[in-house]
């Protein structure tokens, strides 16, 4: 039974049983405590926690998930994968334990001919929370299981909570017995390789407080509405139904593994270590493809870092299998073809996805080449120093700064006859992980703070009237001061105010929040920010500028009309520039982010190279032609599927409901899903002036533009500057580029002549400097300050010439100079001096310490520098003192 068929059977079964089928949310979650959707319940947290009323009583879904906390186990066990799919059925105050158990057992054991899965009941075992007698009895009655097939387990495995105050409850898990060839008999409590968990039923029935850990808390009572949260692992069910040993051999994953086998020339099943690498590749390529399809791009932080890590682990595994060249052009198409039936977007958008993937592989292959050079130098230095192990901090630097994998470092070090101080490396890694966990805990605390909005959200959604009105009369539903509910806020205080209706736009979709005021009887509030802390609720951060505001009072939100007008211009300009980019570059240039504020817009898009001046001019002209043509701007609310069928573009990672707001400019020429505010016709945008284009990561570019009056003022300033140049240089405007080029060339020629004179002047000082050589200890030493020099290279060249003039005796040269306003000291030693113990690198460090900086280098020539040029005499004296010691 194919994986996609299992999912389809699941959805059809629960739809027949009155469940609303909910599409999968993005892998990118807006939960501040999470980078990704790590479990099927994540999109439903607002409903399960009671912060937002559930829009349905019962639902079912197939949710995409990414989880990397067990990444080191990928490939080693039959069930650990970074990307996985959870089949879930949900009840919000509707059916409870009996219903959940009935549905689960019926779907699992019902006949395949009836659209169910056809598991043999004798292969299924169940666990319940040790104190949940109700679930124990229900399993006996509904499933007919004997008591020895129902294991009672403790809180560590069979009790669910978020680790925060709020909802919690016991859970019950269903396991499949793979048979005696996979382990010992006795049920789930004895062997989790033989007995594979396939379904978890959470009975969310209690409220908890005083949470000391995930399993240490105080139950304060039952929830008024009990919920059901279930999750069945699609990949786990698939490998059982397909009769294979693990999830990596299922129909959605195995094709990538097979392609890796072909590329490597090695056989799957012949060697355990190779098999683990094949599975890592199969898992990570699929996970990378799915992350890319949800708008994540490789980077050095956050979600992008996780994606980069997955890709690089796959590349590293291919390398360890003996393949050094590019492999993504073979592996990613295999994953695309395996996943396209379940997720058509991976095929429809493959040109964009593959551009990121292939560019990342090319970048990392260059990184590996560069890292190998650095590692080789470190290994050589370790050997020269008589060491047997590469320092842990050097291995960590390669890993953390250059992305060089530790196991590759271990492999290359072993080939060089050295080990790696793995203990020191692991300590540094643990410290880094501790910092990451501390950051995650701080984000989790931020999530906990959202509970203060629960009661306010239960009063209904905030109505946004700002599409048509700039003033709206309403009332104060709630006030928060320092994050806590309050009855009132007084003059001078900063507070959050929630209104029933508002004309003020909350920051979203790239558009910044409105400016404005909220006024009422006896008070006025300056609006500092407007946000949506939870779905459907708008919160205004305000400063009470006069009077006192209280809950229940009348309130009128007033938008700063000039700022809103300019923000609308910028947002509509963003749509025009997006359409112009696609006209110029093609349909693969899609939006990757934006920011719109009054008078300014920036737009990030997928593209792998910088834009030429001609291309930028063409984009600017197309966008301004659209302004000139006074295109009609229309907005309408339509079903999401209808909007997609009409070709509306959506922002990756943005969450959309069943209905969406679609913005057209000139009909289908620019058609996007957008909740922002816009002009009525394109002519209202005014002038669009591109002022910047830059890279914001691999295969991502950014254009920036000024809009409306800001664009005009910028161009007027440039006109004034050009006028000043034409007057000063007495050159017509059209001849300015040639005149400035001429002057620049003349200046460079003059600088070269001056540098040549300065170099010659330094060289002329050579005989006098030789005469100043003195004996310090066992060395003949020249330690002099040259004053100012044109370049460090000049000082270095003179030092080397001086060293040669000192003859065969132990000679040390230390020359100081001020170069570009900063002090530098060059130290050079000859063979005899080095034989007597004088090392240039060590002496340069001594000098640099006196200069307030750092230095070092080879034993024969080295450099030190700092910030205090007045300390050059002291630095040279320190070199002499070190030689005399």
Annotated binding site: 571, 575, 674, 678
Q: Which residues contact 546 (CB under 8 A, 6 or more apart)?
A: 491, 523, 524
Residue 792, helix vs strand vs coil: helix
DSSP letter at 50 equals T
CB contact at 8 A, 457 and 464: no
CA–CA separation, 793 and 763 (whole Å)? 13
CB contact at 8 A, 177 and 194: yes
CA–CA separation, 32 and 682 (whole Å)? 36
Residue 238 Ramachandran class (φ > 0 left, ψ -120 to 50 alpha, else beta): alpha
**In 116-225, which residue ranges form alpha helices assigned H by DSSP?**
133-143, 155-158
Helix (H) or strand (E) holding 794: helix 792-805
User: 589 φ, ψ to 5°?
Assistant: -85, 85
Nearest 10 degrees: CA dihedral of 420, 423, 427, 432? Answer: 40
What are the structure tokens assigned to 643, written together?
A: 């909007």
What are the structure tokens assigned to 662, written together?
A: 């679609």
Q: What angle do CA 298, 304, 306 make, to 5 degrees?
A: 110
CA–CA separation, 356 and 512 (whole Å)? 29
Helix (H) or strand (E) holding 355: helix 350-384
CB contact at 8 A, 231 and 86: yes
- Helix then strand then coil, in percent of the chain rounded to 5, is 45, 30, 30
DSSP letter at 249 equals G
CA–CA separation, 530 and 507 (whole Å)? 6
What are the structure tokens assigned to 733, written together?
A: 């405007």
CA–CA separation, 619 and 691 (whole Å)? 12
Nearest 10 degrees: CA dihedral of 788, 790, 796, 800? Answer: -90
Binding-site annotation, residues for Zn(2+): 571, 575, 674, 678
User: 671 φ, ψ to 5°?
Assistant: -135, 110
CA–CA separation, 737 and 756 (whole Å)? 29
What are the structure tokens assigned to 540, written together?
A: 């205004």
CA–CA separation, 323 and 302 (whole Å)? 29
């Amino acid at each position: 039974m194919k994986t996609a068929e299992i999912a389809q059977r699941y959805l059809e079964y629960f739809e027949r049983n009155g469940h609303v089928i909910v599409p999968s949310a993005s892998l990118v979650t807006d939960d501040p405590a999470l980078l990704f959707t790590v479990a099927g319940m994540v999109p439903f947290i607002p409903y399960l926690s009671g912060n937002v009323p559930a829009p349905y009583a019962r639902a079912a879904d197939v949710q995409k998930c990414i989880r990397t906390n067990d990444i080191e186990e990928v490939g080693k066990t039959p069930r650990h994968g970074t990307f996985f799919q959870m089949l879930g059925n949900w009840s919000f105050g509707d059916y409870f334990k009996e219903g959940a158990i009935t549905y689960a057992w019926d779907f699992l054991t019902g006949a395949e001919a009836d659209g169910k899965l056809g598991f043999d009941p004798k292969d299924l075992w169940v666990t319940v929370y040790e104190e949940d007698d109700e679930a124990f009895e229900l399993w006996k009655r509904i499933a007919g299981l004997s008591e020895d097939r129902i294991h009672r387990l403790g809180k560590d495995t069979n009790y669910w909570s978020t680790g925060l105050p709020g909802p919690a409850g016991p859970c019950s898990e269903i396991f499949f017995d793979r048979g005696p060839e996979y382990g010992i008999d006795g049920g789930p409590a004895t062997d989790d390789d033989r007995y594979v968990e396939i379904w978890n039923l959470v009975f969310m029935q209690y409220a908890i407080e005083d949470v000391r850990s995930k399993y240490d808390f105080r139950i304060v009572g039952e929830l008024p509405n009990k919920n059901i949260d279930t999750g069945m692992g699609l990949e786990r069910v698939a490998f059982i139904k397909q009769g294979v040993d693990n999830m990596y051999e299922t129909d959605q994953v195995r094709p990538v593994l097979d392609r890796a086998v072909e590329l490597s020339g090695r056989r799957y099943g012949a060697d355990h270590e190779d098999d683990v690498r094949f599975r890592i590749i199969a898992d990570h390529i699929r996970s990378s493809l799915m992350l890319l399809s949800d708008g994540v791009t490789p980077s050095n932080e956050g979600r992008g870092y996780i994606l980069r890590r997955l890709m690089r682990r796959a590349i590293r595994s291919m390398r360890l299998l003996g393949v050094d060249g590019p492999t993504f052009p073979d592996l990613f198409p295999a994953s695309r073809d395996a996943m396209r039936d379940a997720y058509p977007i991976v095929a429809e958008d493959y040109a964009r996805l593959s551009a990121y993937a292939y560019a990342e592989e090319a970048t990392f292959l260059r990184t590996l080449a560069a890292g190998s050079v650095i590692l080789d130098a470190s290994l050589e230095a370790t050997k020269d120093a008589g060491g047997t192990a590469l320092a842990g901090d050097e291995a960590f630097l390669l890993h953390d700064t250059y992305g060089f994998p530790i196991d590759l470092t271990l492999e290359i070090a072993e080939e060089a006859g050295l080990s790696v101080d793995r203990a020191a490396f692991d300590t540094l890694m643990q410290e880094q992980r501790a910092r990451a966990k501390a950051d995650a805990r701080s984000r989790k605390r931020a999530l906990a703070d959202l509970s203060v909005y629960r009661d306010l959200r239960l009063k209904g959604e905030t109505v946004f009237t700002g599409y048509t009105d700039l003033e709206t009369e309403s009332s104060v539903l709630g006030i928060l001061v320092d994050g806590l509910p309050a009855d009132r806020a007084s003059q001078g205080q900063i507070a959050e105010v929630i209104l029933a209706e508002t004309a003020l736009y909350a920051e979203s979709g790239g558009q910044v929040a409105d400016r404005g005021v909220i006024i009422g009887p006896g008070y006025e509030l300056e609006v500092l920010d407007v946000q949506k802390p939870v779905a459907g609720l708008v919160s205004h951060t305000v400063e009470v500028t006069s009077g006192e505001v209280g809950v229940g009072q009348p309130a009128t939100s007033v938008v700063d009309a000039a700022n809103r007008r300019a923000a609308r211009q910028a947002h509509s300009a963003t749509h025009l520039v997006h359409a112009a980019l696609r006209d110029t570059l093609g349909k693969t240039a899609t939006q990757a982010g934006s920011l719109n504020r009054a008078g300014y817009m920036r737009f990030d898009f997928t593209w792998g190279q910088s834009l030429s001046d001609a291309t930028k001019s063409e984009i600017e002209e197309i966008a301004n032609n659209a302004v000139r043509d006074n295109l009609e701007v229309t907005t309408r609310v339509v079903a999401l599927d209808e909007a997609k069928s009409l070709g509306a573009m959506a922002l990756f990672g943005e969450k959309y409901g069943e209905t969406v707001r679609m913005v057209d400019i000139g009909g289908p020429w620019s058609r996007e899903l957008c909740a922002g505010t816009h002009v009525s016709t394109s002519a209202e945008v005014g002038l669009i002036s591109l002022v910047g284009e830059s890279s914001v990561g691999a295969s991502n570019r950014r254009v920036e533009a000024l809009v409306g009056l800001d664009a005009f003022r910028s161009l007027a300033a440039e006109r004034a500057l050009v006028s000043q140049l034409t007057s000063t240089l007495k050159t017509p405007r059209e001849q300015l580029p040639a005149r400035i080029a001429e002057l620049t060339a003349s200046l460079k020629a003059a600088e070269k002549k001056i540098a040549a004179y300065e170099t010659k002047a330094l060289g002329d000082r050579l005989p006098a400097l030789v005469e100043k050589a003195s004996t310090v200890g066992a060395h003949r030493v020249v330690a002099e300050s040259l004053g100012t020099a044109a370049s460090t290279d000049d000082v270095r060249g003179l030092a080397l010439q001086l060293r040669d003039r000192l003859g065969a005796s132990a000679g040390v040269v230390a020359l100081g100079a001020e170069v570009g306003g900063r002090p530098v000291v060059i130290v050079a030693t000859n063979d005899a001096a080095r034989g007597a113990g004088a090392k240039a690198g060590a002496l340069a460090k001594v000098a640099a310490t006196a200069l307030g900086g750092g230095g070092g280098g080879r034993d024969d020539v080295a450099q030190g520098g700092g910030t205090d040029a007045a300390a050059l005499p002291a630095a040279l004296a320190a070199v002499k003192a070190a030689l005399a010691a």
